[in-house]
């Protein structure tokens, strides 16, 4: 029996109704916040007449639920349930993709899979540590070791994870590690296990049994909810039919049926449903089109070597393709994808380095200090800087303690990790100075933009009792100083590591782990190669920007029209020419030889182009080749969150114009990530630039704004 209260019913009225229901022998569950709904379940001593309950104060409606499932019945929570899994919400507008290997097999297998599925847009990691196998001789899973690896990989990627629990005896163990517990198809009617997970504080993924009806599935869910855990997600994973050409038969009609009769979210597992890799993508697309709240899919870096379910596991490129397909379908069924929020979660239970010392607490040093502390990589972090900078650094709160350079020795004497975060020449000069104070076994690294000079100097200056690994995070910002420090500065950035030849591999692995924990991607490169490539992709392009800006600027001295005609293309090409000299001084002067070599090569390219001016075919070939190369440049600038697409909206210059736009978007739950007024002139239209989370949302926003009559243009990167 379900009792719907009036929206304005008071607490005493609600309590009275609950009391009355209990007097019949019912157990009462509440749902709703503004409008309370009471679900009365159990076997009453006598069944009350709904008309009697209807007369109680504050009661709006009494519904007798004919179906045997009550608490998971949609009538009990008409608005639907959203299940939060470690911050990821299943059952809302977002389409949630859960992905990962069938079984955890090794750290490497899991780490590669986790990084790849996250990068492609999965929001939750999957992986079995306890495997229900049809044969007792098949791989049964890694057990607790697998759980440890899952936790580690999930944390490294900032994803929650789901894993199967096979037995009531394992629940406490699995609960300690996992963010969501899965009850597998074979256990759907293991009523003791269902009831035990009803007492869990973790959400549950309940898979449909191989020959279970939807009512049986819902009754299994009812067990969990009635035992006290309302956070249940249902999963259609195929049922056994007479059809032998697929492992199971995916019951797509389960999706609309379940969505009608229950308020619980419904996801689909196309992997177990089909058992065949080639059929996974089409069935996933169909599931999303049919209204599933998400999908769970098996992905393996090398399916051919998988210990379990290799034949149905997608490869990593296959998974990327699937995500690309779903991104097209989702908006058609009013669903969107969220980019994983780059938040730093404390990923290390124990700090990897008890004490760190950051020498030079500017933007990079400060951001690094913050990131290392927030991720739990370092226990305590001391900053060292010039006396005049100390107050600002203290105010920014990026380190636990900050000391002036004359107390450098003191700060270093206890540090297991030392980060030199100054310009290249200062780093080089400081190596001899710090050598006197370092703790034996300490790891020293730096963030300088050129690596050869620093790595060679370190090899000479530092005692053999310490380790040195040159570092260069490929992230930056136009802003400067500790006050602009951002712990997310390194998220998704490539972080170059140049270990000195004598550095043991486990020390390199330790620093790599630290770098992954702050969201960056460590990449080992020899110093000479780093500097040669940096000359090609950064230093020489900067010099070209300077040359271009000067060439047009000098022309502008003779003809002022020159600068007025130089529009956005010219600004783009010369952007780095605006950055102050000190930022470039050291990297340019410490990378002379590679820069000279590179400039000579660019000069050759210019000569070829000049010659091609008299040969149309050649010119066309040069230009087309450049366009092709440019397509291969990654779009996202590491470390900086950019929108793939933005909207340019022309707005009337009138009161409430922006409010109208913001309200229309808010009504559709669309979040504006960035807003900029590009041009406002009196009595003329203004122009707004709006940025959103991703391309789909941008397209949705465009549609919403067009519907309210705005003139909107999509601007793609
Ligand atoms: C699994 O998810 O790997 C699994 C065993 O699923 P099911 O219980 O649906 O077979
Ligand atoms: Mn499997």
Q: If DSSP states are collapsed to H, E and C, what string results for 229-278?
A: CCCEEEEECCECCCCCCCCCECCCCHHHHHHHHECCCEEECHHHHHCCHH
545 lines ligand 1 (CB under 6 A): no
- Residue 527 sits at φ, ψ, to 5 deg, of -60, -40
Q: Mean pLDDT throughout 398-423?
A: 94
State how far the Cα of 293 lies from the Cα of 88, in Å rounded to an integer.
12
pLDDT at 17 over 90: yes
DSSP line for 381-420? EEEEE-GGGHHHHHHHT-SSEEEEGGGHHHHHTT-SEEEE
State how far the Cα of 181 lies from the Cα of 106, in Å rounded to an integer.
21
More confident residue, 581 or 248: 248
State how far the Cα of 398 lies from the Cα of 382, in Å rounded to an integer.
9
State how far the Cα of 58 lies from the Cα of 363, in Å rounded to an integer.
59
Residue-level pLDDT at 177: 95
Residue-level pLDDT at 343: 46
pLDDT at 706 over 80: yes
Assess contact for 383 and 398: CB atoms under 8 A: yes
Ligand 2 centroid distance, CA of 140 (Å): 12
Ligand 2 centroid distance, CA of 308 (Å): 6
275 lines ligand 1 (CB under 6 A): no
* CA nearest ligand 1 atom 1, residue: 102
What tens digit of pLDDT does each residue of 115-150 get? 889 888 899 999 999 999 999 999 999 999 999 999
Dihedral sign for Cα 631, 637, 638, 644, please: negative
More confident residue, 682 or 549: 549
Strand order in the sheet with 59-63: 27-31, 37-41, 2-5, 59-63
Residue-level pLDDT at 346: 64
Residue-level pLDDT at 673: 85
Average pLDDT, the chain: 91
What letter would DSSP give residue 578? Answer: G
State how far the Cα of 91 lies from the Cα of 146, in Å rounded to an integer.
28
pLDDT at 528 over 60: yes
Indicate the pLDDT class of residue 682, thresholds 50, 70 and 90: very low
Dihedral sign for Cα 70, 76, 82, 85, please: negative
pLDDT at 216 over 90: yes
Residue-level pLDDT at 678: 67
Ligand 1 centroid distance, CA of 272 (Å): 7
**Pairing state of beta strands 443-446 and 417-420?**
parallel
What tens digit of pLDDT does each residue of 469-511 get? 999 998 876 567 787 778 888 877 899 999 998 899 999 999 9
State how far the Cα of 654 lies from the Cα of 683, in Å rounded to an integer.
9
Ligand 2 centroid distance, CA of 268 (Å): 13
- Contacts of residue 488, Cβ cutoff 8 Å, sequence gap at least 6: 342, 343, 344, 371, 519
What tens digit of pLDDT does each residue of 223-262 get? 999 999 999 999 999 999 999 999 999 999 999 999 999 9
Residue-level pLDDT at 637: 42
Residue-level pLDDT at 571: 86
What tens digit of pLDDT does each residue of 181-193 get? 999 999 999 999 9
Q: Which residues sit with Cβ closer than 5 angstroms to ligand 2, an ion? A: 102, 309
What letter would DSSP give residue 314? Answer: B
Give this prediction's pTM.
0.56
Ligand 2 centroid distance, CA of 211 (Å): 17
Assess contact for 68 and 77: CB atoms under 8 A: no
State how far the Cα of 664 lies from the Cα of 700, in Å rounded to an integer.
12
Indicate the pLDDT class of residue 639, thresholds 50, 70 and 90: very low
pLDDT at 683 over 90: no
Which domains does the chain show, CATH number per domain?
A: 2-63 (3.30.70.1140), 96-333 (3.20.20.70), 355-521 (3.40.50.720), 532-631 (1.10.3660.10), 643-714 (3.30.2130.10)
- Return the bridge partners of 420, or none: 359, 446
Assess contact for 471 and 496: CB atoms under 8 A: yes
* CA nearest ligand 1 atom 4, residue: 184
Indicate the pLDDT class of residue 341, thresholds 50, 70 and 90: very low
3-class DSSP state of 286: helix
* Tokens 């894993």, residue located: 163
State how far the Cα of 681 lies from the Cα of 555, in Å rounded to an integer.
31
Of the candidate ranges 51-65, 371-385, 394-408, 703-717, the one whose mean pLDDT is the lowest: 703-717
The two tokens of residue 661 are 């736009």
* CA nearest ligand 1 atom 10, residue: 185
Q: Mean pLDDT throughout 91-117?
A: 94
Indicate the pLDDT class of residue 577, thresholds 50, 70 and 90: confident
Q: How many CB atoms lie within 10 A of CB 67?
A: 15
**Pairing state of beta strands 83-85 and 88-90?**
antiparallel
Q: Mean pLDDT throughout 211-218?
A: 98
- Which atom of ligand 1 lies at the shortest distance from residue 183's CA? 8
State how far the Cα of 89 lies from the Cα of 108, in Å rounded to an integer.
28
* CA nearest ligand 1 atom 8, residue: 184
DSSP line for 41-106? ES--SSPPPHHHHHTSTTEEEEE---SS--TTBGGGSTT---EEETTEEESSSBPEEEEE-SB---
More confident residue, 239 or 643: 239
- Contacts of residue 710, Cβ cutoff 8 Å, sequence gap at least 6: 649, 650, 651, 661
- Which atom of ligand 1 lies at the shortest distance from residue 131's CA? 5
The two tokens of residue 409 are 């020795």
Percent with pLDDT over 70 in the chain: 95
pLDDT at 89 over 80: yes
184 lines ligand 1 (CB under 6 A): yes
Dihedral sign for Cα 364, 370, 371, 373, please: positive
**Pairing state of beta strands 645-651 and 686-691?**
antiparallel
More confident residue, 637 or 88: 88
What tens digit of pLDDT does each residue of 622-632 get? 999 999 898 78
- Which atom of ligand 1 lies at the shortest distance from residue 128's CA? 3
């Amino acid at each position: 029996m379900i009792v719907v209260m009036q929206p304005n019913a008071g607490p005493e009225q609600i309590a009275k109704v609950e009391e009355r229901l209990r007097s019949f022998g019912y157990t009462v569950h509440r749902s709703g916040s503004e409008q309370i709904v009471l679900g009365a379940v159990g076997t009453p001593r006598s069944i009350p007449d709904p008309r009697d309950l209807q007369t109680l104060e504050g009661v709006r409606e009494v519904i007798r639920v004919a179906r045997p499932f009550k608490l998971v019945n949609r009538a009990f929570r008409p608005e639907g349930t959203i299940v939060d899994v470690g911050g990821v919400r299943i059952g809302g507008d977002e389409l949630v993709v859960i992905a990962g290997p069938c079984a955890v097999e090794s750290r490497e297998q899991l780490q590669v899979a986790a990084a790849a599925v996250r990068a492609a847009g999965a929001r939750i990691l999957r992986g079995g540590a306890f495997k229900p196998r049809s044969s007792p001789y098949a791989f049964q899973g890694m057990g607790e070791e697998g759980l440890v690896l899952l936790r580690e990989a999930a944390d490294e990627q900032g994803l929650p994870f789901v894993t199967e629990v096979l037995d009531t005896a394992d629940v406490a163990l699995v609960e300690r590690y996992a963010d969501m517990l899965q009850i597998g198809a074979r256990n759907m009617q293991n009523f003791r296990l269902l009831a035990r997970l009803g007492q869990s504080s973790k959400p549950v993924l309940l898979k449909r049994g191989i020959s279970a009806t939807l009512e049986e599935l819902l009754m299994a869910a009812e067990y969990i909810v009635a035992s006290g855990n309302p956070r249940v997600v249902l999963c259609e994973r195929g049922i056994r039919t007479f059809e032998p050409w697929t492992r199971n038969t995916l019951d797509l009609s389960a999706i609309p049926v379940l969505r009608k009769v229950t308020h619980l979210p419904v996801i689909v597992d196309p992997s177990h449903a089909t058992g065949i890799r080639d059929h996974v993508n089409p069935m996933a697309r169909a599931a999303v089109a049919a209204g599933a709240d998400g999908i769970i899919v098996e992905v393996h870096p090398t399916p051919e070597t998988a210990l379990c379910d290799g034949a149905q596991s997608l490869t990593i490129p296959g998974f990327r393709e699937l995500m690309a397909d779903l991104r097209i379908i989702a908006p058609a069924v009013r669903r969107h994808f969220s980019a994983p929020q780059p938040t730093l979660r404390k990923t290390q239970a124990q700090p990897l380095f008890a004490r760190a010392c950051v020498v030079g607490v500017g933007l990079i040093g400060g951001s690094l200090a913050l990131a290392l502390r927030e991720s739990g990589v370092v226990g305590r972090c001391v900053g060292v800087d010039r006396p005049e900078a100390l107050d600002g650094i203290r105010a920014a709160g990026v380190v636990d303690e900050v000391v002036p350079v004359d107390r450098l020795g003191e700060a270093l004497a206890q540090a297991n990790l030392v980060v030199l975060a100054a310009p290249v020449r200062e780093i080089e000069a400081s190596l001899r100075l710090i050598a006197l104070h370092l703790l034996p076994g300490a790891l020293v690294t730096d963030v300088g933009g050129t690596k050869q000079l620093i790595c060679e100097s370190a090899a000479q200056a530092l005692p053999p009792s310490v380790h040195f690994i040159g570092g260069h995070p490929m992230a930056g910002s136009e802003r400067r100083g500790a006050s602009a420090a951002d712990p997310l500065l390194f998220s998704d950035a490539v972080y170059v590591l140049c270990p000195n030849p004598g550095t043991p591999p486990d020390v390199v692995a330790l620093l790599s782990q630290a770098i992954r924990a702050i969201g960056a991607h460590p990449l080992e490169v020899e110093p000479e190669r780093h500097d040669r490539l940096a000359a090609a992709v950064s230093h020489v392009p900067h010099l070209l920007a300077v040359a271009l800006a000067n060439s047009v600027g000098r022309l502008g001295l003779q003809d002022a029209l020159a600068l007025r005609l130089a529009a956005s293309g010219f600004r783009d090409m010369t952007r780095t020419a605006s950055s102050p000299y000190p930022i470039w001084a050291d990297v340019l002067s410490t990378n002379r030889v590679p820069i000279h070599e590179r400039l000579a090569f660019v000069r050759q390219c210019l000569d070829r182009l000049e010659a091609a001016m008299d040969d149309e075919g050649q010119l066309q070939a040069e230009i087309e080749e450049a366009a092709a190369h440019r397509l291969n440049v990654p779009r996202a600038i590491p470390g900086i969150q950019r929108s793939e697409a933005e909207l340019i909206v022309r707005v009337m210059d009138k009161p409430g114009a922006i409010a109208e736009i913001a309200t229309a978007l808010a009504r559709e739950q669309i979040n504006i990530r960035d807003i900029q007024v590009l041009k406002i002139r009196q009595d003329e239209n203004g122009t707004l630039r709006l940025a959103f989370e991703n391309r789909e949302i941008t397209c949705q926003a465009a549609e919403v704004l067009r519907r309210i009559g705005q003139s909107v243009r999509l601007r793609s990167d």
